[in-house]
Amino acid sequence: MIEHGDVTVNGHLVTTLPAWVDPEEDRIVVAGKVLPQPDRKIYVMLNKPPRTLSTAKDEPGADRRTVTELVDHPAAPRLFPVGRLDYDTVGLILLTNDGELANRLTHPRYGVPKTYRVAVKGSLDEDAIKELERGIYLAQRKAGRTEGAARTAHVEIALIARERDKTIVELTLREGRNRQVRRMLAAVGYPVKKLERVGMGPVKLKGLARGQWRELTREEIRALKRAAADQRADKKKSETGSSSGSRRSRARQKQTQPERKQPYVAPDAGTSSAQIRKRKLKNAINRATKPAPDRQTSPKPPREDAE
């Protein structure tokens, strides 16, 4: 099509190859039709305030504030939040138009950690901390119905401060059940007073006042993509390592075990049944016609031990 003169770039006819263009900057017309420019991938960090929905649109008639309304970005209508925070939970939430990365950051299979700073009522004791780290059984709901309970995955807990009437800790999770942090702490008898997400993978909430937003830097975007990819690579590496380890273990066991001798195979193995019958008949005739040995002059040879 280029060689036939059907393509123009920024108003200039292009007829020779190769022809290099920047699809995000150049105006390309093919057979009289302008090619649409690809959407630029945008990554925004928002310090979510309380009483704000982590959705692009509220239910009709509810008239509640959403996170996209707080982002004054030219591409704001095409952005959507990565995961969710509760209506009253504050802190870090990402918005993007990159669906693939959003899926990697939220799907538990990729194991990207989310870090929360929590203030609970009372003095959180060591027994409760150990119980939270081991996992708490929480009810599971599907399609609005409760279907059993499942233990939460391992949680990393760091004690930040212990005051007279409250304790501040940081919890790092690699899964995201509905209201998980609040439900876990309530299960061990410490209701949440304040909950803030302060990190998602390598990206930390710093330098943003409540309700403010900014685009992620290139370094932050690269770090997020590496975090989402590395979790799967590490998992495959560990699985490969465990399988190779089991192979090495089997090899060591083989070396320490005594060598097993091969089972005895009769000389007639592989010979046809007709040949075997013919050989047996011949041996019987020979035994019948052969004179019996003199037992006194021909002593029986000593018996050998079977191998």
Catalytic residues: 86
How far is residue 247 CA from its own chain's centroid? Answer: 25
Cα angle, residue 301 at apex, residues 299 and 302 outer, rounded to 5°: 125
- Strands 166-173 and 80-81, by their bridges, are unpaired
Residue 212: strand pairing partners: none
Which residues, at least 6 apart from 78, have a Cβ–Cβ distance to it below 8 Å? 39, 42, 97
* Distance between first and last Cα of the chain: 83
One-letter amino acid identity for 99? G
Counting Cβ atoms within 10 Å, is residue 282 exposed (0-12), middle (13-18) or buried (19+)? exposed
Rounded to 10 degrees, the C-alpha dihedral 289/292/293/295 comes to 170
Can you read off the two tokens belonging to residue 204? 């930390």
